[in-house]
Structure 1
Amino acid sequence: MAEEPAAEIQLLRSHKPQLIEILSADADFVLQHADAHCLLSLHAYQQVKSCRVPSEKVTDLLDHIIQKGPGAAGRLLELLKDQALQETFPMLCFMKDLNVSTLSSGKKETLSKRKGAPELQDIIPAKNICSNVSGLVTEKQLMSVARNIGRSWREIGRQALDIPSVKLEQIEEDHSVHVERVFAMLRSWCTCQREKATAADLHSLLTQGDWMPENIDFLLKTD
């Protein structure tokens, strides 16, 4: 019977899709920090760096680290809790609540995602994820806003959210579904604003021009 993967590996794998989605907003930033912490070999670094699509770059980065074993996986998990990463990717705040032992402690704690254990969403409700900063807009809210933005999304990105045209072109190339493009644009704004990415500020920016989307007043609710 195959040996069960180490807790660090299981934890990283279980959150892989979520990490890819979050870290793709600035894949090169993550890669440079991973390299600075010696998480990749020179060959692996060059291979990951050569990827042009952000999501593929993050996927390769995670795969390489997982393949290196629990030591590298554990160091990456700790890196994702680092202040620089937390400030650049506000959606990573859930990482601070994940519980896994470090290799230096000499013992592994029970992984919360083992059979019968509650999912992360059950432990931390979706609407409260990233609530460590008061009023910080959530991914759930971003998706709701994205569904209410139509063909004027590029104009909104350039004029309301101050997102460069080259970034909008990259988003359009990376995502074929309209709502995913708009969501990626909004998430890019969050990444740039960091702790200033509040729901109230987003509502204010989106309601100042002729492009004002309908049904986004939920951003002003505090519950």
Structure 2
Amino acid sequence: MESGTVGGDVLLRKLKPRLIDILTADTDLLLQHTDSLELLTRQEYSHVKAITNPSEKARDLLDYVIQKGSSTSWDLIHLLQEKEMQETFPKLIFLKELTRNDKTIEMYLTENCGVKRKKAMDEEEPPSKQLCSNAVVTEQQLMLVATNMGRSWKQFGRMALGISTTKLEQIVEDNPHNLVEQTFAMLRFWSMRERSKATAKRLHGLLSEGDWALPPESINFLLDDN
């Protein structure tokens, strides 16, 4: 398939939690391959190399690549499809299948409004609650999310929103001693970065997936039809 069909950064961000779990098996090998392709700057390479925790090393490497946009992200995805990488990380076989055609990618990226839990309860909700809002998320909605996120906000930022550790540390420095304001600033940064893609529906989907998912009742207001 043509790599421009789907944004590589979008796909890589969606895959990030799964890839982190897989790539921790040999992060040094991964780093050397990304360096050989010049996917990281020397400063970024040095930063990732200095990290001792494999999970954090894989996370930051992926964050750097995602921030560079679709083209660089696709370069990494294609690297992970190569024979040597597939042999080193056998679980990456899903990636080879995933990128075989547009339909497979589209199915994987489909968020289904982000509602993947408690289907029986969802079916009993009024139709208005089942509608996905395509409107850009408002600051009021971001603040409501911030008040429900708690002390795990940095984990959400890294794992769900693809925000680098460096940016999160800067947010803490700019908003000292105020947890809600720190969380709001992170969400607002994501919203400004994503621009028209920062919809309430998409935010709900990102915060509904993985082990870090927020309770549905705390974010289902994002699905209200505006």
Query: Same fold judged by TM-score > 0.5?
Result: no
Q: The TM-score by the shorter chain falls in which range?
A: 0.3 to 0.5
Greater relative contact order structure (CA < 8 Å, 6+ sep): 2
TM-score norm. by structure 2 comes to: 0.44
Q: Greater helix percent: which structure?
A: 2
TM-score norm. by structure 1 comes to: 0.44
